[in-house]
Chain A
Amino acid sequence: MPDTSTSHYPAAPKVEPTARHTLAVTVDNEPGVLARISGMFSGRGYNIESLTVSETEHAAHVSRITIVTSGTTHVIEQIKSQLERLVPVHGVRDLTTEGEAIERELALVKVAGKGEHRVEALRLAAAFGARTLDATLTSFVFELTGATDEIDRFIAMMTVVGLVEVSRTGIAAMSRGPEGM
């Protein structure tokens, strides 16, 4: 491997540990605000693992965007200040550094199959605490709310018994304790 130290750009990331961070961003709910945020990520080469957005205070036109991203501590700091620089952003909080945040995701999972697979799908759904939203003679649609890895596991299981389709909301997150944003 050539000696990377001759580059006058930030050296190719020196195996610094990267970590997943969940950021809660409150924004003024004006047209294009989501494009500003997602554009900042793509334009500067940061990645988005999950992004959810919804209006949280209708009267005040405030929306909350939950973004899961990953990077070194330095990159995460940059992402936060780049977000704060956007004019319609009210505030950014790094829920990951503020102590274990609560993170939940909702998934709709469609499975199709007959016989033994059908029975197994129902058993698994019960074991995970999923609700059955739709049932036909050959299919089910389940709803599961939980942490991301729990949903990942549920989907992995369902793949074996006849997974057809998945729709996930992405993560909604909130810090523990009495304080608000």
Chain B
Amino acid sequence: MQEEMTGAEMVVRALKDQGVEHVFGYPGGAVLPIYDALFHQEELRHILVRHEQGAAHAAEGYARSTGKVGCLLVTSGPGATNVVTGLTDALLDSVPLVCITGQVPTHLIGSDAFQECDTVGITRHCTKHNYLVKSIVDLPRVLHEAFHVARTGRPGPVVVDVPKDVQFARGLYARPRDNQHKTYRPRLKGDLGKIKAALALMAQARRPVFYTGGGIINSGRHAATLLRELVHLTGFPITSTLMGLGAFPASDKQWLGMLGMHGSYEANLAMHDCDVMICVGARFDDRITGRLDAFSPNSRKIHIDIDPSSINKNVKVEIGILGDCGYVLEDMVRLWRETAARADRSALAGWWRTIEGWRAKKCFSYRNSSEVIKPQYAVQRLYAAVKDRDHYITTEVGQHQMWAAQFFHFQEPNRWMTSGGLGTMGYGLPAAIGVQLAHPKALVIDIAGEASVLMNMQEMSTAIQHRAPVKVFILNNEYMGMVRQWQELLHGGRYAESYTAALPDFVKLAQAYGAHGMRCSDPAKLDAAIAEMISTPGPVILDCVVSKEENCFPMIPSGKAHNEMLLGETAEDIGNVIDEKGKALV
């Protein structure tokens, strides 16, 4: 059944029909008709942010903690350019977003009109797909298609640019139908022949390892359940990327911890020495592989991914299975059971003994202090305080992010929101607000750095307005710690511009926004401070003053292989370990 309405009403209606309950946005001239349509209804809740970048990250947090599409609405020109960072972030971390942008009326497009910018041109490279809708006739189809493209296949951000005259125009609205798209048809089921070949390879493995990533989380809860089943059936060790944390429970015996540049010793050495690698929903990113030509030199590799361009992109694999992790894992579990496949038990036992040897290194150990709060200790105490509650964690970007990944342990998917691919400082606070709106009763904490959190601090005001009781746990080392660490290791300790000399008083800053502000610098009082932060009903900023020059270890220095990883106690020599070539890398 078709109904007549304006373009602006179609936007609001399509969002509702697509199951959107919250839209993050900021008004302006080119979206006023859509805001007017929002005014006349109650089901769709608009969350007014303080900067459009905040809307994008909030929508990301919302999407990643629910598995639904995050939605945002911004005006033309500066509204659209302000979301570019958030869209790029979502593209690199495969987060489904639909971003509606207003545009100047069609007859003014190309005339450098007030607040005109080439939104589809600017966002072409930072979206999965984008549309400029020049006619009301196309609007309903494009809106529904945008959601379809955003959520299916490898998820990603989609922009729909709607000129103001199209918002005013009247036309016929049609509800979404699941017609096949003309060209876009992601493949879900994996090739059975290849799956069988993969299982045969796994059954012969003597030193196997599962290397998993965000693809499992994107595939849905079901995929995480199947992964757990397969890992338990096989008895293989498992590690994951930063993006995949929580897909497999960190408390499980078979869990090796995160891998990569700041990953665990045992995970990285297992990757290096394995003979069969089963990569599920990860993409052999440079933070993971380290020096590429020394990456897991003796393994036969299986790669399961929904994006064909990820297979054989950085690392050549023997068996590439194109499909959705959930579907492929389902076949794998079933066939492994049916064939009563057995891994080589005695070889596996030997492999586990080797791994236990690596584990015994206790690579995350650090020297604690009774005078000053160590950042690692702060994350450990935070974890101890919240682990039995319904909690979600977001982070900013830097050392604190890595310490959060190392010392906070995730048992379930969709509980950990961090900017992995783009490494966007300023992600954590708005993302936390998005998460909190999706889960009003849960405890949502942004583990933050003092530098990063200032990048979108204005969103505290959003948290207050929309009663999102997020907790901002700042590991305040007064430095852009990760930058300082690299300067220490690679640039002779010359800390160019990485010290923030005029930090605000975060307690007063919290109060200025109408939130609760706290400071803690005494390790003995940390637990009490954390308890107060958690039990305070509204938004809280806890300024946790930590040791200033702590480094994040272990670390695989640039240009080095997994088995050349540095542990904390060898830190002093690190400057000599990285050669000229390595210094040129990021």
Asked whether any CB of chain A lies closer than 8 Å to the CB of B309, the reply is: yes
Please pick, from B293, B294, B309, B560, the residue contacting A85 in the complex, using a CB distance under 8 A: B309
Asked whether any CB of chain A lies closer than 8 Å to the CB of B80, the reply is: no
Contact present for B124 and A35 (CB under 8 Å): yes
Other A-B pairs beyond A7-B292, A8-B286, A87-B184, 12, CB < 8 Å: A2-B580, A7-B291, A8-B291, A8-B558, A10-B292, A27-B183, A32-B120, A78-B309, A81-B309, A85-B307, A89-B183, A90-B182
For B581, list chain A residues within 8 Å (CB): 2-4, 6-7
Contact present for B559 and A7 (CB under 8 Å): yes
Contact present for A87 and B128 (CB under 8 Å): yes
What 0/1 pattern do residues 28 to 55 of A give for CB contact below 8 A with B? Answer: 1001100110010001000000000000
Which B residues between 276 and 310 are near A, CB-CB below 8 angstroms?
286, 289-294, 307-309
Contact present for B183 and A28 (CB under 8 Å): yes
Contact present for B313 and A6 (CB under 8 Å): no
- Cα distance A85–B149 when bound, in Å? 11
What 0/1 pattern do residues 51 to 80 of A give for CB contact below 8 A with B? Answer: 000000000000000000000001001100
- Cα distance A28–B129 when bound, in Å? 14
What 0/1 pattern do residues 74 to 103 of A give for CB contact below 8 A with B? Answer: 100110011011111110000000000000
What 0/1 pattern do residues 85 to 98 of B give for CB contact below 8 A with A? Answer: 00000000000000
Contact present for B292 and A9 (CB under 8 Å): yes
Contact present for A9 and B585 (CB under 8 Å): yes
Which B residues between 126 and 150 are near A, CB-CB below 8 angstroms?
128-129, 132, 149
Say whether, besides A3-B581, A31-B132, A90 and B183 are in contact (CB < 8 Å).
yes
Asked whether any CB of chain B lies closer than 8 Å to the CB of A136, the reply is: no
- Cα distance A43–B585 when bound, in Å? 20
Contact present for B183 and A8 (CB under 8 Å): no
Contact present for B124 and A36 (CB under 8 Å): yes
For A167, list chain B residues within 8 Å (CB): none
Nearest chain B CB to A65's CB is how many angstroms away? 13
Scoring B184, B312, B580 by chain A CB atoms within 10 A of each residue's CB, the highest score goes to B184
Nearest chain B CB to A80's CB is how many angstroms away? 9
Please pick, from A9, A10, A28, the residue contacting B182 in the complex, using a CB distance under 8 A: A28
- Cα distance A77–B121 when bound, in Å? 26
Nearest chain B CB to A166's CB is how many angstroms away? 31
For B286, list chain A residues within 8 Å (CB): 8-9
**A–B Cβ pairs within 8 angstroms, 17 of them:** A2-B581, A5-B291, A6-B582, A8-B292, A8-B585, A9-B292, A28-B183, A31-B132, A32-B124, A35-B121, A74-B316, A78-B312, A81-B309, A84-B309, A86-B129, A87-B128, A89-B183
Asked whether any CB of chain B lies closer than 8 Å to the CB of A127, the reply is: no
Please pick, from B125, B128, B183, B585, the residue contacting A7 in the complex, using a CB distance under 8 A: B585
Scoring B183, B307, B585 by chain A CB atoms within 10 A of each residue's CB, the highest score goes to B183
Asked whether any CB of chain A lies closer than 8 Å to the CB of B314, the reply is: yes
Asked whether any CB of chain B lies closer than 8 Å to the CB of A11, the reply is: yes
Contact present for B293 and A11 (CB under 8 Å): yes
Query: Which residue numbers of B lie inside 8 Å of A, CB to CB?
Result: 120-121, 124-125, 128-129, 132, 149, 182-184, 286, 289-294, 307-309, 311-314, 316, 558-560, 579-582, 585
Nearest chain B CB to A91's CB is how many angstroms away? 8
Interface size on A, residues (CB 8 A): 30
Contact present for B124 and A10 (CB under 8 Å): no
Contact present for B125 and A39 (CB under 8 Å): yes
Please pick, from A36, A84, A86, A87, the residue contacting B308 in the complex, using a CB distance under 8 A: A84
Contact present for B579 and A6 (CB under 8 Å): yes
Contact present for B560 and A8 (CB under 8 Å): yes
Nearest chain B CB to A29's CB is how many angstroms away? 11
Contact present for A87 and B183 (CB under 8 Å): yes
Please pick, from A8, A74, A82, A90, the residue contacting B559 in the complex, using a CB distance under 8 A: A8
For B579, list chain A residues within 8 Å (CB): 6
For B308, list chain A residues within 8 Å (CB): 81, 84-85
Contact present for B291 and A88 (CB under 8 Å): no
- Cα distance A2–B581 when bound, in Å? 8
For A32, list chain B residues within 8 Å (CB): 120-121, 124, 132
- Cα distance A110–B579 when bound, in Å? 57
Closest to B129 in A: A87
Nearest chain B CB to A111's CB is how many angstroms away? 39
Nearest chain B CB to A128's CB is how many angstroms away? 41
What 0/1 pattern do residues 1 to 30 of A give for CB contact below 8 A with B? Answer: 011111111110000000000000001100
Nearest chain B CB to A93's CB is how many angstroms away? 15
For B289, list chain A residues within 8 Å (CB): 8
For B314, list chain A residues within 8 Å (CB): 10
Closest to B153 in A: A85
Please pick, from A43, A77, A78, the residue contacting B125 in the complex, using a CB distance under 8 A: A43
- Cα distance A166–B392 when bound, in Å? 64
- Cα distance A8–B560 when bound, in Å? 7
Closest to A35 in B: B124
For B129, list chain A residues within 8 Å (CB): 86-87
For A28, list chain B residues within 8 Å (CB): 182-183
For A82, list chain B residues within 8 Å (CB): 309
Nearest chain A CB to B123's CB is how many angstroms away? 11
- Cα distance A9–B559 when bound, in Å? 8
Scoring A6, A36, A88 by chain B CB atoms within 10 A of each residue's CB, the highest score goes to A6
For B291, list chain A residues within 8 Å (CB): 5-8
For B582, list chain A residues within 8 Å (CB): 6, 8
Nearest chain B CB to A83's CB is how many angstroms away? 9
- Top 3 nearest A-B pairs (CB, nearest first) are A81-B309, A6-B581, A8-B291
Closest to B315 in A: A10
- Cα distance A27–B182 when bound, in Å? 10
For B309, list chain A residues within 8 Å (CB): 78, 81-82, 84-85
For A27, list chain B residues within 8 Å (CB): 183
- Cα distance A85–B291 when bound, in Å? 28
Closest to A85 in B: B309
For A81, list chain B residues within 8 Å (CB): 308-309, 311
- Cα distance A27–B184 when bound, in Å? 11
Contact present for B121 and A11 (CB under 8 Å): no
Please pick, from A3, A8, A77, A86, the residue contacting B312 in the complex, using a CB distance under 8 A: A77
Contact present for A39 and B124 (CB under 8 Å): yes
Contact present for B313 and A8 (CB under 8 Å): no
Closest to B121 in A: A35
Closest to A61 in B: B182
Contact present for A88 and B183 (CB under 8 Å): yes
- Cα distance A90–B184 when bound, in Å? 8
Contact present for B559 and A6 (CB under 8 Å): yes
Closest to A89 in B: B183
Nearest chain B CB to A113's CB is how many angstroms away? 44
Closest to B585 in A: A8
Scoring B182, B558, B580 by chain A CB atoms within 10 A of each residue's CB, the highest score goes to B182
Closest to A86 in B: B129
For A2, list chain B residues within 8 Å (CB): 580-581
